[in-house]
Structure formats: C-alpha cells, structure tokens
C-alpha cells in the first residue's frame, strides 16, 4: 500500500463551523509504526471533542489533523514489532493513544493523568478517513455480537461516561442526576439504571428528554429545573459552566458532582452556603485509563448497553458535526465510509 492515498477529513484552520474549518482532502494511507496497527475504519462515532478540535476550543496539537476517536475497524496491517493481533480481526480505537508508562501517574495506575499522553484525532490522525493507525497496546478488543455502528460510540462517549459515573461516587441504589443528555449521557444512564440507580435527566431539547424517559429515567426536565428529589450524585455532560451551581444546588448533603467534559465554559462564582457547604464536592474527569475502557466494555456487553445511533456517510462528516453542534439528533452520530 506504499504511496497509496485516501480521502480524509482535515481540520485545515480551526474555527467556527460556518467558516468551513473541516475540509475533505487527499492524504497518504498511513503507515503503521513498529508498535502500531493499520486499521481499516468500518465505523467512526462523532464525539463532542471532535467539535472542540474543529472549532479551536482545544489548541492545535497536529496541523491538519483528521478527527475521530471512536473507531471500530479491522486490522489491515501490522507494525514489525506487533504481536498478538491478526489481520482481519476487529479492534476499537479510542481517545487515549499513548502514555509514557513510566511517570508517577502511570506507575500508580492513573495513566489518564500522564503529562506525556497523546490522543487520537488530536495528536495523531483519527477515524474520519478510510484508514487510521493505533498503537497495539492501546487497541481495544471488542465483543463479538454487537454491530460496528452500535459499538462505535461506546469507545469514547461510553468510556468517559463510565469514568464520570464512577467519579460521581453514586451509592448503591442512589439518586443520579445527568445534566445534558447526548451520546455520553445516554450510555451512562443505561449503565446506572442497570446497576439499580434512580436517574433524573436535566437537559434542554424535547427529543433528548423523550429518549431519557424511553430508556427508563424517572424524570426528564429542563437543564435549569430542580429534579424532583435531592441527588446523591450528578454528572455534568453539557459543556456549560453555568450549570455547575445549578447542579450543586440539586445535590443532597454530601453529594458529588463530576464534570465529564474536556472543555467547559467558565464556572460562575459559587455561593458557599447553598452550593458547597454540607460537604458537597465538585470533581473533574480527565480522559480515561485503559482499565476504565476494559471495565466499561465488559459491563456494557453484560448489561446490553446500546447506543441510539444516527448514521451519516463519511462524505458528510461536516454535516454530522453541524447537527451535533445544533443538537439536531438524540443519541450519537456515526460515520460509515462511502468514499472508498
């Protein structure tokens, strides 16, 4: 495949979607490094982080990067040093791409905090293309009985939602509030419900509230409404800092709010008595470890966690991002290659 090229989406100049920051260009088919797999992309989920990379909310880490870090694909080539994978095998490619494995954080099992970490679709080209690469040590084995499109959103939205849920320290049978109800939240909700939680969803958008109730949420209200009962835990999925005090006021004494997003607008000043006192806690969530991914993928298979998906042809990735930004679909968008 030397010298072969492929069509691929590229963030040419990060900025508002209306200015066309994402362009379809011709790139070389990537060549895997010695420790990497070449992956033929079968499906790639569209994550809000792709929007942050495209619009420049996150700094540029690779000029002209191809976004996409929820890839279900098959092994199409092996670097010289790779063992344990075979061509044709199905693998998942997720956000966390590399860590140094040697720093204090990696050594204590917190590789999500590694200062040397690298990310798919930000530091390296991702899945908005027919081919991508992944270090073999960071490729995920996938359950056999779920189709490519349904699996793709689990690889970031699902894993991050899982880490955010664990960071929210929900007690068994507890009352959980989810602020925002997109790709990540609707997977987190299914897992929490399967584990016995009562789930209250607070989000703008009638379609998202409908989906929440269909999935078994006890209530679904507007983002700024109070839930019907005090919450033990809450997860903020919407990238809106102004919801932090709103969610804190909804917490019961001793409650925990975890913030799932990689990007958040500024948090307004907090009122100590009503928003922090009584040992309420705010926690951020930074990426995920490979252990999080393994745990979540196993739990998702056991509890039949399924993404509600909307398929877009790869040639319309720009449209999928615009629809995500505008909240025009519930669940998660997934790209399927129509370019090769």
Q: Is 49 in the site for Zn ion (CB under 5 A)?
A: yes
Contacts with 86 (C-beta within 8 Å, 6 or more apart), sequence order: 75
Nearest residue to 178 (alpha-carbon basis) of 253, 259, 255, 252: 259
Q: Is 47 in the site for Zn ion (CB under 5 A)?
A: yes
Separation CA 190–CA 216 (nearest Å): 8
Q: Which two tokens stand for residue 42?
A: 């079968």
User: Which is closer to Zn ion, CB of 192 or CB of 260?
Assistant: 260
Which 8-state DSSP code applies to residue 331?
S
Taking the complex as a whole, the smallest distance from the CB of residue 201 to Zn ion amounts, in Å, to 20
Segment contacting Zn ion by CB under 5 A, of 95-103, 193-201, 310-318, 325-333: 95-103
One-letter-per-residue 3-state SS of 198-245: EEEEECCCHHHHHHHHHHCCCEEECCCCCCCCCEEEEEECCCCCCHHH
Q: Is 288 in the site for Zn ion (CB under 5 A)?
A: no
Separation CA 280–CA 233 (nearest Å): 10
What 3-state class would DSSP assign to 278?
Answer: coil
Q: Out of 103, 150, 322, 336, which residue is the one contacting Zn ion (CB under 5 A)?
A: 103
Task: Give the CA angle between residues 273, 278, 282 to the nearest 5°.
Answer: 90
User: Which is closer to Zn ion, CB of 106 or CB of 197?
Assistant: 106
Taking the complex as a whole, the smallest distance from the CB of residue 9 to Zn ion amounts, in Å, to 16
Taking the complex as a whole, the smallest distance from the CB of residue 287 to Zn ion amounts, in Å, to 9
User: Which is closer to Zn ion, CB of 47 or CB of 139?
Assistant: 47
User: Which is closer to Zn ion, CB of 192 or CB of 332?
Assistant: 332
Q: Out of 5, 28, 34, 100, which residue is the one contacting Zn ion (CB under 5 A)?
A: 100
Which 8-state DSSP code applies to residue 271?
P
Q: Out of 93, 156, 264, 305, which residue is the one contacting Zn ion (CB under 5 A)?
A: 156
Number of residues that bind Zn ion (CB under 5 A): 8
User: Which is closer to Zn ion, CB of 66 or CB of 99?
Assistant: 99
Which 8-state DSSP code applies to residue 77?
E
Q: Which of residues 161-180 bind Zn ion (CB under 5 A)?
A: none
Burial class (CB in 10 A: 0-12, 13-18, 19+), 34: exposed
Within the chain, how many helices (H) and strands (E) appear?
9, 17
Q: Out of 99, 132, 198, 258, which residue is the one contacting Zn ion (CB under 5 A)?
A: 99
Taking the complex as a whole, the smallest distance from the CB of residue 116 to Zn ion amounts, in Å, to 5
User: Which is closer to Zn ion, CB of 197 or CB of 314?
Assistant: 314
Segment contacting Zn ion by CB under 5 A, of 94-102, 142-150, 191-199, 281-289: 94-102
Question: Phi and psi at residue 233, in whole multiples of 5°?
Answer: -145, 155
Segment contacting Zn ion by CB under 5 A, of 22-30, 44-52, 199-207, 221-229: 44-52
User: Which is closer to Zn ion, CB of 175 or CB of 312?
Assistant: 312
Q: Is 184 in the site for Zn ion (CB under 5 A)?
A: no
Separation CA 137–CA 116 (nearest Å): 16
Separation CA 96–CA 84 (nearest Å): 20
Q: Is 332 in the site for Zn ion (CB under 5 A)?
A: no
Look at the block and give the residue holding tokens 């069509």. 7
Look at the block and give the residue holding tokens 């319309």. 316
User: Which is closer to Zn ion, CB of 93 or CB of 217?
Assistant: 93
Q: Is 114 in the site for Zn ion (CB under 5 A)?
A: yes
User: Which is closer to Zn ion, CB of 251 or CB of 324?
Assistant: 324
Question: Phi and psi at residue 108, in whole multiples of 5°?
Answer: -95, 15
Q: What is the largest CA-CA distance in the chain?
A: 64
Q: Is 112 in the site for Zn ion (CB under 5 A)?
A: no
Taking the complex as a whole, the smallest distance from the CB of residue 100 to Zn ion amounts, in Å, to 4
User: Would you tell me which residues interact with Zn ion (CB under 5 A)?
Assistant: 47, 49, 99-100, 103, 106, 114, 156
């Amino acid at each position: 495949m030397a010298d072969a090229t492929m069509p691929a989406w590229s963030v040419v100049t990060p900025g508002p979607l209306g200015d066309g920051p994402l362009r379809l260009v011709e790139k070389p088919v990537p060549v895997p490094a010695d420790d990497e797999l070449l992956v033929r992309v079968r499906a790639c989920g569209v994550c809000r982080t792709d929007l942050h990379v495209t619009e420049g909310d996150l700094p540029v880490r690779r000029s002209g990067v191809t976004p996409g870090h929820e890839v279900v694909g098959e092994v199409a080539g092996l670097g010289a040093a790779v063992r344990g994978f075979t061509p044709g095998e199905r693998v998942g490619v997720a956000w966390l791409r590399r860590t140094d494995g040697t720093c204090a954080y990696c050594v204590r099992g917190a590789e999500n905090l590694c200062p040397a970490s690298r990310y798919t679709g930000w530091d390296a080209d991702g899945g908005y293309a027919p081919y991508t690469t992944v270090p073999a040590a960071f490729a995920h084995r996938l359950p056999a009985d779920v189709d490519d499109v349904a699996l793709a959103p689990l690889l970031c939205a699902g894993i991050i939602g899982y880490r955010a849920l664990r960071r929210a320290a929900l007690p068994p049978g507890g009352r959980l509030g989810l602020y925002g109800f997109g790709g990540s939240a609707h997977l987190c909700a299914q897992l929490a419900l399967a584990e016995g939680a009562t789930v209250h969803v607070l989000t703008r958008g009638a379609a998202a509230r409908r989906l929440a109730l269909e999935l078994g949420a006890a209530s679904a209200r507007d983002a700024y409404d109070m839930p019907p009962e005090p919450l033990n835990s809450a997860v903020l999925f919407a990238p809106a800092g102004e919801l932090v005090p709103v969610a804190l006021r909804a917490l019961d004494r001793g409650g925990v709010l975890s913030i799932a997003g990689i990007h958040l607008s500024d948090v307004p000043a907090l009122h100590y008595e009503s928003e922090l006192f009584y040992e309420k806690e705010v926690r951020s969530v930074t990426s995920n470890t490979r252990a999080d991914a393994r745990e979540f993928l196993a739990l998702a298979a056991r509890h039949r966690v399924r993404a509600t998906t909307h398929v877009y042809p790869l040639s319309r990735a720009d449209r999928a991002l615009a629809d995500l930004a505008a909240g025009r679909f519930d669940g998660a968008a997934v790209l399927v290659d129509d370019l090769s």
